[in-house]
Amino acid sequence: MKRIVIVIYLLLLAACGSRDRGNNDQNFNNMKPDTVNQYGFNREFIKKYVDIVELRTGRSAVVLVPAWQGRVMTSTSDGDTGFSYGWTNRELIASGKILPHINAFGGEERLWLGPEGGQYSLYFRKGSEFVYDNWQTPEYIDTRSFETAKVTDTSALFTCDVETENYSGTSLIFRLERNVVILTGNELKKQAGVDIAGLSAVGYRSDNTIINKGENEWLKEKGLVSIWMLGMFNPSPAVVVVIPYVKGDEKVLGPAVNDSYFGRIPGDRLKVTDSHIFFRADGKSRGKIGLPPLRAAGIMGSFDSENNILTLLICNLPKGNTDYVNSAWQIQDNPYSGDAFNSYNDGPLEDGSQDPFMNLRPPLLPQLLSPAKD
């Protein structure tokens, strides 16, 4: 079974209209160390600590890191001095430390797996209490390098073989395959229906696949694994997440938005109209929202009004499917009643420290897999 996620960034030309586009790459040599919003600066920073793969087409480029599961760390639509779109945790990367629980290096698009909590969790050991001290990101999506299987100028394929078990003790043996392709303007228009004429834009598609390599078929009553994409972006008071939703009877489709993950979100941070959800992404207040499967329209995004950056994420969702893993940290009556889309806004930690980011997260679709045939 394969989930395909297409992530598209559109940078309005007005945001860089004053630059001499022909000299962008030459000007990189004169960039100051504190030019942290420039793509070239961030690429060179990451290269100091880990090997990268860079995909390019025209002035658009993408930085991938095999050691961090082939994630897209950042991208640009305007060369080395263009805006760097992904959030990078420079402090953690520069420290060289490996932290307990999770290593949030950053990255605007990466492979994640679910469920996080519940009786089929991949993040809690069998029989342990669902509390943070017991929560652990599996090393195969945290600290383990993926193998680089194939690289071209515009694509890269990464693989990883996994043997693990879930909270209920079900053995899971599988291969992860992740293929990232940077798209030309014509490909963007063909695959996403977006005409980028007049815009400075970068777009890429990631194909993320789970292959059952064990002897047993995966069954719902034993626990399924879901592909769950995470995108970490730079928060700002000028950034608002916008998600259209399918209209209809709440009794049939469920609520337009679920904001109960970390407590209800106040009205000055979350607005719901008759067709769209607006969620403030300033990194100043921890909160998470979700859309039930029948409400998700397959597209979400954000707009940064200060830098004129429009981010669109398009995901091919199977129509009518309502089984999405529930990642709540508890034993669940219905472990396949989760949301399809999520967005997360970070905020200050309990100790008062803060290193904020915001997330766009599609989707948690469980995989029913038979053993792979030789």
In a domain, 25, yes or no: yes
Give the mean model confidence (pLDDT) for residues 28-35: 46
| Domain span including residue 355 | 2-367
Cβ atoms 204, 62 nearer than 8 A: yes
Cβ atoms 28, 75 nearer than 8 A: no
β-bridge partners, 63? 54, 74
CATH number for the domain spanning 193: value is: 2.70.98.10
In a domain, 276, yes or no: yes
Q: What is the pLDDT of residues 251-260, one digit of tens each?
A: 999 999 999 8
Q: Token match 């000028």: residue? A: 238
Give the mean model confidence (pLDDT) for residues 180-194: 85
Strands (E), 234-275: 239-244, 270-272
**Secondary structure letter of residue 18 according to DSSP:** T
pLDDT at 122: 97
pLDDT at 374: 47
In a domain, 373, yes or no: no
> pLDDT over 90 for what percent of the chain?
56
Strands (E), 77-146: 110-114
Query: pTM here?
Result: 0.86
Q: Output b/e per residue, 22-57; b: 16+ Cβ within 10 A.
A: eebeeebeeeeeeeeebbbbbbebbeeeeebbebeb
Sorting pLDDT into bands at 50, 70 and 90, what band is 64?
very high
In a domain, 372, yes or no: no
Cβ atoms 74, 231 nearer than 8 A: no
**Secondary structure letter of residue 139 according to DSSP:** G
Give the mean model confidence (pLDDT) for residues 277-305: 90
In a domain, 328, yes or no: yes
Give the mean model confidence (pLDDT) for residues 278-285: 91
pLDDT at 33: 31
**H or E element at residue 5:** strand 2-12
Identify whether 115 is preceded by a cis peptide bond (ω within 30 of 0): yes
In a domain, 332, yes or no: yes
- Say whether pLDDT at 367 is over 60: no
In a domain, 53, yes or no: yes
pLDDT at 277: 96
| Residue type at position 60 | S
CA angle 361, 94, 357 (to 5 degrees): 25
pLDDT at 261: 85
- Say whether pLDDT at 145 is over 90: yes
pLDDT at 21: 41
| Residue type at position 314 | I
Give the mean model confidence (pLDDT) for residues 212-228: 91
Burial class of residue 184 in the structure, from the number of CB atoms within 10 Å of its CB (0-12 exposed, 13-18 middle, 19+ buried) = middle
Instruction: Report the chain's mean pLDDT, rounded to a whole number.
Output: 84
Question: Which residues neighbour 167 within 8 Å (Cβ) at sequence distance 6 or greater?
Answer: 118, 119, 120, 121, 122, 124, 125, 126, 128, 223
Give the mean model confidence (pLDDT) for residues 91-110: 93
Residue of 324 and 29 predicted with greater confidence: 324
pLDDT at 92: 94
- Say whether pLDDT at 370 is over 60: no
Q: What is the pLDDT of residues 326-354, one digit of tens each?
A: 888 999 999 999 888 889 888 876 655 55
SS3 category, 285: coil
In a domain, 86, yes or no: yes
Residue of 185 and 46 predicted with greater confidence: 46
Sorting pLDDT into bands at 50, 70 and 90, what band is 39?
very high
One-character DSSP codes across 160-228 = EEEEEE-TT--EEEEEEEEEEEEE-HHHHHHHH----TTEEEEEEEEEEEEEE-SSS---TTT--EEEE
Among residues 92, 57, 61, which one has the least CA distance to residue 75?
61
SS3 category, 339: coil
- Say whether pLDDT at 23 is over 70: no
Specify the number of domains making up the chain. 1
Cα distance between residue 300 and residue 314, in whole Å: 7
pLDDT at 185: 82
> pLDDT over 70 for what percent of the chain?
84
How far, CA to CA in Å, does 126 sit from each of 204, 224, 266? 38, 15, 36
Sorting pLDDT into bands at 50, 70 and 90, what band is 4?
very low
